[in-house]
Amino acid sequence: MTDVIVIGGGHNGLVCGCYLARAGLGVTVLEQSDTVGGCIDTRDLPDGRGRLELGAYEHGGIRGSGVAAELELESRHGLRFHLRDEVTLGPADDGTRIAFHNSLERTVEGLGPVVGRADADAYRRFAAWATAGMRLIGSLDAGPPPSTGQLAALAQASLGVDAAPFIQTLLGSASNVLRSTFADERLMAPMAHWAAHSQQSPLDPGTGAGGLALAAFHGAPAARPAGGSRATVEALVRCLQAAGGRVVANAPASSVEVAGGRAVAVVAGGERYPASRGVVSAIDALRLFGDGWASGAAGASGVAGASGAAGASGAVGGRGARGLVAPEHVPARLASQLRRVHSGRRNVSELKVDAVIEALPVVEPAGFERAFMLSANTISDIERSFARVQLGELAERPPVMIAFPSALESGWAPDGKAVAWVSTFVPWRRAGGGWDEPALEHAADRVWEIAERALGESMAVVERRLTGPAAWVARHTNANANPNHIEMSIDQLLGFRPTPSLSGYKTPIEGLFLTGAGTHPGGGITGVPGRNAARVALSALGVEPRGTRLARRARERGALVRDAWKATRALRRAS
């Protein structure tokens, strides 16, 4: 018997397990796939033909959040980052290159000749405002999230007369924030694309903060793990094992046992794993408690994997689907709230095209072949793209994310060749039928042509691999292949994520906790949901001494006040 069982070996499940194990608890992490990592998935091709990065690419969030330092991932567990000043490039179809450097001054200097002095100066002011706003938002990441009322009260107390415009920005759309600030649609495009990382259209209410995010990154270099994204996962596993924890792969959870109102065991892969202290679910609340999505055969979407076969471990279920916890243990109030949780209503999923190519294309400005590229062309194009996807159609000019892992280090491709990482949004349900092999190939060819058009160069493919919607479901079993577990819509953020009664990482069942991208603050490679859930669990289990807990909370409150004060000054200077 172990103290705590963690369901799900994505990075948040591993982060949570590391914090629990380092506090002295025995921890076992159960992962349904053959490898841990979830949306992080780096794969070697056979016979030395290369290496592909199928999933998440940038990992600056886990450094910026402090999780990597707290878990000693770099200092003790072998993680190393490539840090670069070339943060993001926005290549447009007309040859325009919107280059975002770590340095705000270099960025503004480069923007002037491209978009004009007025928009370049507007960007300088916007970046100061965005940095201050995101600092205040970031101060809310630690611990259970505030309700909207608490957020408004905090903003009023810290920002005064600037509170109302700030809250208006958060509630509004990224498109409105950007269109009210700039004139050039090519400049707005990468910022709108960054906001759409959450799989929400930049026109959606509640995406306003996302519209600030890219401009708020100046002053911190971009971070990419050496050896690929799996290096972060491998460091987390080493951290867990060093603290006495373990990982069990090929162990899909089928039930959480509850006895006497308390979570006591997890059944996974046909085996029973008792938990003497508690259970943490790093899979979403709907799969944990039911009345949402279910694992099983492909359903209404007709989604098929890249090989043409349905992903074995996941697809569409329906309302009333049973979760890991038996229905008699789910309180009526929670069941009612779960019926309002949603994923897939915007019909958005993702298609990855990873390839070994004959040569690395020439990218301007020099050095930006190392950057993470966001090519939406114009803000109008990305707005139209989401509208088409919602109707089940491929976008006419889809937004594409492009990166070249081989530009940062050797070992990704045979000598003289390179590796390309390309991603775009596609419908979860196609208007013309399911995602069979021909449909995936057609969509992949199309997005590849768009990437070549944006870069202004052809990329001859040596070998490629497609990861479509069902392949993602087979990998991590998330509904609609959603990396955020549930939608990052305005009604499912802060104290509403995933429901009001579950937003504090505790559940109504004693000893059962919730983490992952479906909890605050949401998706991305930050580790914050895992850390927050671990802190709540340690407190509830009486592992963290009361004095330590109170001291930590006092420090966090003090930091929040300081950040709010700094944000206030910066916001007023920028306004």
The pLDDT, as a whole number, for residue 318 is 44
Helices 117-138 and 546-574: angle between axes, nearest 10 degrees: 160
Instruction: Please state the rounded mean pLDDT for residues 269-275.
Output: 97
Domain membership of residue 149 (yes or no) is yes
Instruction: Please state the rounded mean pLDDT for residues 105-109.
Output: 97
Burial class (CB in 10 A: 0-12, 13-18, 19+), 431: exposed
CB 183 within 8 A of CB 119: yes
More confident residue, 298 or 444: 444
- Confidence band for 152, pLDDT divided at 50, 70 and 90: confident
Domain membership of residue 116 (yes or no) is yes
pTM: 0.91
When divided into structural domains, the chain yields a total of 1
Domain membership of residue 288 (yes or no) is no
Written as one string, the DSSP assignment of 356-374 is: EESSPPP-SSTTGGGSEEE
The 10s digit of each residue's pLDDT in 557-573 is: 555 545 555 555 555 55
- Confidence band for 453, pLDDT divided at 50, 70 and 90: very high
CA distance 564 to 513: 30
58, pLDDT greater than 70: yes
Domain residue limits at 116? 103-219+555-574
Distances (CA, A) of 152 to 135, 169, 507: 16, 12, 26
290, pLDDT greater than 50: yes
The 10s digit of each residue's pLDDT in 388-439 is: 999 999 999 999 999 999 999 999 999 999 999 999 999 999 998 889 999 9
- Confidence band for 295, pLDDT divided at 50, 70 and 90: very low
- Beta sheet of 400-403, edge-to-edge order: 97-101, 86-91, 372-375, 400-403, 418-427, 348-357, 461-467
Of 181-185, 246-250, 406-410, 546-550, the range with the lowest mean pLDDT is: 546-550
CB atoms closer than 10 angstroms to residue 158: 21
The pLDDT, as a whole number, for residue 558 is 53
| Percent share of the chain, pLDDT over 70 | 89
Q: Which tokens go with 45?
A: 């091709």
Phi, psi of 228 (to 5 degrees): 105, 170
- Confidence band for 383, pLDDT divided at 50, 70 and 90: very high
CA distance 434 to 413: 33
Burial class (CB in 10 A: 0-12, 13-18, 19+), 310: buried
Q: Most distant CA pair in the chain: distance in Å?
A: 69
Domain membership of residue 178 (yes or no) is yes
| Percent share of the chain, pLDDT over 90 | 79
Domain membership of residue 168 (yes or no) is yes
Q: Which tokens go with 206?
A: 């509640």
The pLDDT, as a whole number, for residue 140 is 83
Instruction: Please state the rounded mean pLDDT for residues 86-94.
Output: 98
Domain membership of residue 249 (yes or no) is no
The pLDDT, as a whole number, for residue 322 is 83
CB atoms closer than 10 angstroms to residue 361: 19
Length of the chain: 575
Domain membership of residue 467 (yes or no) is no
341, pLDDT greater than 70: yes
Q: Which tokens go with 293?
A: 């999505």
**What 8-state DSSP symbol labels residue 23?**
T
Pairing outcome for strands 262-268 and 253-259: antiparallel
Domain membership of residue 270 (yes or no) is no
Highest mean pLDDT pick, 314-328, 348-362, 536-550: 348-362
More confident residue, 553 or 262: 262
Q: Which tokens go with 394?
A: 């491929």
CA distance 490 to 77: 37
